[in-house]
Amino acid sequence: MNRSDVIIVGGGPSGVAAAIAMRKAGVGKITLLERERYLGGATRHCGHSPFGMLEFGRVYLGAAYGRRLEREIARHDIDLRYGHSVAQLGEDGELLVANPDGLQTLSAKRVLMTTGVRETTRAARFVTGDRPVGIVTTGTLQAYAAFHNMMPFHRPVIVGSELVTLSAIWTCLSHGARPAAVLEPRSHSLVRAPLNWFPPLMGVPFHRDAQVVDILGRGRVEAVRIKRGDIVETIECDGILFSGGFTPEASLFLTSGLAVDLGSAGPAVDQDGRCENPRYFAAGNVLRAVETGGWAFREGRAIGTALAADLLGDPARAAPTKVTYDAPIKLVVPSLLRSGSALPGGLKDFQLRFQRRVEGTLSLSIDGREVWQRNAIWRPESRIIVPRPNNSTGAQSVHFGFREEV
Amino acid sequence: MNAQSQLSGSELFDVAIIGAGIVGCAVARRFALAGAKVALIEKGSDILSGASKANSAILHTGFDAPKASLELALVQAGRQEYLDIHQDMNLPLVETSALVCAWTPDEASKLEGITEQGRQNGIDRLRLLTSAEARTVEPGLAHNLVAALHVLDEHVIDPWSAPLAYVNQAIALGANVLRQCEVRAGAFDGTWLLETNRGDIRSKWVVNAAGLFGDHVDARLGFQPEFLIKPRKGQFVVLDKAASRQLKTIILPVPNEITKGVVVCPTAFGNILVGPTAEEQDDRIRATVEHDTLAALVAHGSKLVPGLAHIPVTAVYAGLRPATEKKEYRVIHRAGHNAITLGGIRSTGLSSALGLAQHALKLHGGAERGEFASSATPKVHMPNLAESRPRDWQAANHGDIVCHCEMVTRREIEATLSSPLPPGDFGGLRRRTRAGMGRCQGFYCNARLAEISKGYLATPLAVEQEGGK
């Protein structure tokens, strides 16, 4: 069996950036497994979104960004394998991998998981109604449009109001589809002005506080019934697009019995990006939903740097301390902290998200002593950064508290 | 046969079977094996498009079936035939066993009676267990379990590959499968003339296996219906494959009068499903999933098996069972009219289908009279979709993995599209290959499936471009 120093699972921005950073740090055999035939991950789906400004000093659109990643990988002598789909993660770094020649086992001293995110499906949202053809997520829509020049509908109702929703609207409009309406179940748009002016400017009605309460259709979608306040109305349409509601693609952890954080739904990692099982690392959007391609790239680079330093020793043995937090904080990354010598790179800050829009005071306490606090209006799905104090890794308790303003 | 082709009525079939659900598929196979000339008529765009598309995939023993009932006899005959043929057809048998779980002292007091009934029904491998014993069998069960009955021979199968195998064997013996073909009326004058939207079909006998429309079809054939279909909806939640680490056994409730109740059950595909509900409704077509019910099913599953909490939901679905105003099967043999009705096959149809088929052939009597000339049994070898056995993605030269969640290869999809009975709609494609059935529900593969399946599906995945960019 040919053993790698590091196997990276997933060729999106974070996986590629980590590969390059590790090569630059002198790591020997780096194997990058990508299940598709291209690099770029989710960025490939977005034909119109700009990527690359911070990492490459210029702007690329969608697939062009993936091609730039491919050139970077080629320049750095990485063992890149397309069409390789990982089926199982072993405790000791052995991976069961499917490729066009069948099954094989690959092993490495460390494994870096950069499997990204997926959108929450209609099924996982428990939306009431029939189950006809024509119900998709943004990623699916963009694959139809960008890779196959097809469309799954002419006149969809779109659910959501994240950045990716705007991307979905744009894809519809530029491919001859006209959304019938955009619905956000919450009382406010998840993107702020001026971006939230976009749907009405494009002539697409945007309803807040609006829920899909029924889907009708036998073959294809024929209509949805929506509820706004006490009013239920029927909108005729031939498709429904559920946009956003990103969730980490952490299924391999779950099916392999490796620890997943209940807040982020991604693998729990420490300040170096190291999982509970210290042979495994994770970086990019699999850590938490959801950040930009550029963010994922920089995170991949930083965790790749830490991983390269970690390879010089044995896998960390110290049991991690769990970061604790109050509701309505949804997640904290890193959610584990391990004492020991400081590695270069890694996660310099805590990243937080809230479950709902809330006003109040967020505070950080280390071993019972408050070391940081701020009062603000906190929004769900917006990134919150709290600098991670150096003494956090040796602490017995690290806790994020929250006091809601009433 | 091409979906658009018109029928002339010039061909005389030995038997026309109305409805290509699990029962119709099994009946078609049994008559074809006997040497009969078979027409299998389905109004949907694919087989299994009614009640048979949604069930819990359990191969029952009949331990809790009514004593000395036709249902019990047919479940046991059907089960035995499945056990006899499944290896030849490459169909899975997941030997899960089942635990009938009592969560209150009151429920526990009923277990002895259920055991007694099971023994009278001829099931020997039954064990009454204490809570601790049951949790040795299934460590995932919640601690408030009071007692359980272990039914060792309850198994799980692939509920879609099995009927497809039956119908494939019938096709190999010359059976005609007519989809998008609805019987509008029938008249008997020594032989049957069935009037359909695609022309006339002439047949010596007719078997009504129309499931949710069994009573309507009897009326269209000119009979006074002897039963009334009262559709009973069942909603299901399918949990991520990660859940299979938490549960290996079928968890059954202590049954009540109306239904077998909600089960928590491994599937052949490596998921755990929770369902079905039992909701009476009038509509025979619409089977909606409902937000609050789905949430309640998930909560129920994790109450019984706490490790299921926080496992993501992969899929949700709903189906209708063709219940009638009575609990028992409604099998009617109208000898003077060369007609057999197999009605009211509610929740045990997957287990009893092969038994019902044997029964229908016996009622017909033609095989015993030497009316048919049977030929050699053609070999049918189904592609395996079960997790417990080797899948195509593990073998070389599969082309590519198209659906990564369910590990479905391009070779598998192309094979099913060029098979004797290619999928007629997206549901049919999903049931034959599992593509798009997984946790991302097509986030990655749906567009590729749209391209590969272009021209095959009654409702295509991609819309016709009108103008466009």
Q: Which chain A residues are closer than 8 Å to B453 by Cβ?
A: none
On the question of pLDDT at A192 being above 60, the answer is: yes
Q: Which residue of B has its CA nearest to A242?
A: B443
Residues A372-405 have pLDDT tens digits of 999 999 988 789 999 999 999 999 999 999 999 9
Q: How far B278 CA sits from the closest chain A CA (Å)? A: 17
Residues A66-85 have pLDDT tens digits of 999 999 999 999 999 999 99
Q: Give the strand order in the sheet containing A156-159.
A: A135-137, A239-242, A156-159, A181-183, A206-207
Q: So what's the pLDDT on residue B257?
A: 62
Q: Which chain A residues are closer than 8 Å to B277 by Cβ?
A: none
Interface test with A, best of B245, B397, B401 (most A CBs within 10 A): B401
Nearest partner of A296 among A310, A307, A286, judged by Cα = A286
ipTM, two decimals: 0.94
Residues of chain B where predicted confidence (pLDDT) is lower than 50: 1-3, 467-469
Residues A260-310 have pLDDT tens digits of 999 999 999 999 999 999 999 999 999 999 999 999 999 999 999 999 999
Q: So what's the pLDDT on residue A50?
A: 76
Confidence of residue A47 (pLDDT cuts 50, 70, 90): low
Cβ <8 Å between A175 and B399: no
Round the average pLDDT of chain A to a whole number and report it.
93
On the question of pLDDT at A49 being above 80, the answer is: no
Residues B227-241 have pLDDT tens digits of 999 999 999 999 999
Q: So what's the pLDDT on residue A82?
A: 96
**Greater pLDDT, A193 or B212:** B212
Interface test with A, best of B236, B463, B465, B466 (most A CBs within 10 A): B463
Find the CB nearest A102 among B396, B440, B461. Answer: B396
- Mean pLDDT for the stretch of residues A34-40: 93
Q: So what's the pLDDT on residue B469?
A: 36
On the question of pLDDT at A221 being above 90, the answer is: yes
Q: How far A151 CA sits from the closest chain B CA (Å)? A: 5
For the whole model, what pTM was predicted? Answer: 0.95
On the question of pLDDT at A198 being above 90, the answer is: no
